[in-house]
Structure 1
Amino acid sequence: MARYVYCTASTLDGYLADDADSLDWLLNVPAADDARAFGAFLDGVGALVMGSTTFDWVHRHENLHEHPERWQDAYAERPAFVFSSREVAPVGGADIRHVRGTVSSHLAEIEAAAEGRDVWIVGGGDLAGQFADIGRLDRIIVTYAPALLGSGRPLLPRRLDSTRLRVEQAAMDGPFAQVTLSVSP
């Protein structure tokens, strides 16, 4: 059975994006020293899951309409499931599956696509929360950046306390601090 891993970056005050869904706060932080750790994480991923706001940001930021190869550069041949109540923009040559409804109604398809590897919940926080709600969020990996926004899109808008979360690892990478937590149902 696939593990569901929410891996994301956050500000110190727990926001993924600002009120305008921008990640400029993150893009202004100097790069991490060791990109190999993320590469090792990505090697274990068989499928991606994201909400439409996250997908739309990636589409705009990477200019995927004109440069669809950038999707492959970032996510390779992994199938991506985009949860949205509306149609999402296509990306030439990418295996992007637009899905509607609850996460539980798509688990079998997602797990089949992952082929025994992890499912990366790319974002957003509410989508990760939906996996937590049904007991299918197994791990959270948060890379904290030295930034504070005061408001924006929350990291994970759910109440999960220490009875469900256990810190497995904490590490520094350049200006970032990364915390890995296991999540019990």
Structure 2
Amino acid sequence: MKINIKDITAEISELIFTVPASYFTFSPDEAIIRKDIQVKAKVEKVGREILIRGSVKTQLELECSRCLTHFLYSVAENFQTIFQPFSASRVSEEEVELAKEDLDIEFYKDDIIDLTNIVRDQILLSIPMIPICETQCQGLCPHCGQNLNQGKCSCSAEAIDPRWRKLQDFAKKKTIMN
């Protein structure tokens, strides 16, 4: 996913990449890419700066946080990044405070722009913090581990943590007295 800026002759160019699903590997806890990654990018030259607006599309396999089943999750993310030539004179030992717009700036060396990290970041940022297979997911029974989406379990619904038993007994006595 490298772009040689010398190959970009027009002020605005459109590029399309198809990246094999095996190109990126994440830990199984994060995601498994199940579909080739489609990257579309509109590249705009402004002097030595390059503005890239693009999109990333793929499909991931995630694990539901409630019921632990695996499900497919579609990714369709847009990105915009400004690339500037890397200059050794910009490197400094001093602390530099960044403005919000500085976070969208990347640097390139030797007239080569590499989109690998941007695409990887877009995929990772699209993963929900708590992936859920469907909004109605009932999860697992906390006592026996039965997937409640596949059917009810035989556990008592009245099961209570033994540490709260005294409080439950107190509440029952109070309702009897009233």
TM-score range, shorter chain: under 0.3
Say which structure, 1 or 2, has more relative contact order (CA 8 Å, 6+ apart).
1
Larger Cα Rg: Structure 1 or Structure 2? 2
TM-score, normalised relative to structure 2: 0.20
